[in-house]
Amino acid sequence: MILPRLIIGAASSGAGKTSLMVGLLEALGRRGIDVRPFKTGPDYLDPALHRAVRGLSSRNLDPRLMGKAAVRACLCRAGGGGELALIEGVMGYYDGSPASTADLARLIGSPAVLAIDASGAAESAAAVALGFLRFRRNSGIQAFIVNRVGSPVHYRMVKEAIERRTGLPVVGFLPADPALALPERHLGLVAPAENPDFLRAVAALGDAVAENIDLDALLAIARGAPDFAAPEGSAATLAAGSVSRPTRRRKKARIAVALDGAFSFYYEDNLDALRDLGAELVFFSPLADRVLPSGTSAVYIGGGYPELHGPRLAANRSMREAMRRAAAEGLPIWAECGGWMWLLDSFDGPDGTSYSGCGLLRGHARIGTRLAALGYRIGRTLAPSILGPSGTKLGGHVFHYASIEGGEAGKPALSFTRPGVDSWNEGAIDGSVFASWLHIHAAANRPVLRAFVEAARRARAASP
């Protein structure tokens, strides 16, 4: 299939990939280009920014999290029919092998444009560009964009040096302007809904890109990508986890999904897979709603920032009681990361203030000043649960600052082993409740989502 595509990489984290991506989405959207956004790696926050600009879901492309075939299938399914698949990279261009931005570019046959932070540099920026171009044969890099440029003279110096040394074009720049900055916090950029300045920043980035970057040159590079060969089988099926739709005779599971400022970390492919498995998804707000949606047969609580919304979550006693009733009635409840924190007896706010949680699971979540865990994990369940029998394999990603204290009375959910290093247990299982730090993706966890939907369907069938 013909699929114009382009990866926006960078020489390092903090070099301006996301600001550039947001500006490109805005500027191309103004021109009426049907751009489909994607994010390299397991991140949730950057796709939320893409979605806020484009008004459609941004999908993750992560070979380690999803598998190579599922990455290609997702790109085919979500990018097909658009005029451009625009993919934001992760960290530095070569960081994270075997799932780096460079690795993804090779996997999907995508040309890449490398953003270089030129602050405080001129000829030296060319050394960086040349090093990235020659570091790996067939790097995929076809052009450069320069960020944090101080003046037109500065840009001309950097552009001439890079083009002379590499033989590749510099297609534009973003100026060193504080008005173009997007605010950050401990897990990444601030979510659009929590940044009152977001729309102004998007407009400013769109203006800067439209004025200083050759969009026609970028589109020509993207359109020069080789034809894209989807993996064998249905792209939709591969991305959703090889599922089949239920027969009409079976009751449809109604899964309530927590979605608001406190809980928003979900892979869109997970939600699609749950629907494809026959679930009806209904969204609710633990911050604002007093009860679970009518007819709920299971609850799914993703990650997010419960610690930033402690007062409102604790004050919503009606919702916490509704969660306790759901657990007492045996409804399947699955919580990831921040969702686990909310289900505990209590959790910290950023200043150390303790707030009441739902009390479904024992323990207190304490927020640290350093990362408690970061990286990909593969574990196995330690007991039968709503996600499958004991020994069920779960693979995913963890990224959190919190640690759990005082939860010894509960049953650990998962066992992890790093060969030759150590092994440990974490998470919690209590009746129909399953919680852990692990964020999983549907493509690599097909039996897990199927088991969850089946548990929800059984709960629905047992209800009056």
Q: Which residues are catalytic?
A: 337
Spatial separation of the C-alpha atoms in residues 299 and 399, rounded to whole Å: 22
Let me know: does 146 contact 157? Beta carbons within 8 Å.
no
Q: With b meaning 16 or more CB within 10 Å and e meaning fewer, what string describes 20-35?
A: bbbbbbbbbbeeebeb
- The DSSP string of 321-372 is HHHHHHHHTT--EEEETHHHHHHEEEEE-TTS-EEE---SEEEEEEE-SS-S
Residue 413: other Cβ atoms inside 10 A: 26
β-strands 188-189, 280-284 pairing: unpaired
Residue 391: other Cβ atoms inside 10 A: 11
- What are the strands of the beta sheet with 373-381, ordered from one edge? 422-426, 414-418, 373-381, 393-400, 439-440
Spatial separation of the C-alpha atoms in residues 261 and 85, rounded to whole Å: 28
Amino acid identity of residue 129, one-letter, is: A
Residue positions counted in the chain: 464
In this structure, is the dihedral angle defined by the CA atoms of residues 339, 345, 348 and 354, taken in order, positive or negative? Answer: positive
Residue 199: other Cβ atoms inside 10 A: 12
Place of tokens 């030129």: 118
Spatial separation of the C-alpha atoms in residues 302 and 439, rounded to whole Å: 8
For residue 83, the 8-state DSSP code is S
First to last CA, the chain: 49
Let me know: does 252 contact 457? Beta carbons within 8 Å.
yes
Spatial separation of the C-alpha atoms in residues 57 and 37, rounded to whole Å: 8
Closest CA to 439 of 39, 41, 29: 41
Residue 201 Cα distances to 82, 181, 292, angstroms: 26, 7, 36
Spatial separation of the C-alpha atoms in residues 173 and 186, rounded to whole Å: 28
Backbone angles phi, psi at 20, to 5 degrees: -65, -45
And the tokens for 337?
Answer: 């990361």
Closest CA to 45 of 22, 65, 66: 22
Spatial separation of the C-alpha atoms in residues 96 and 116, rounded to whole Å: 18
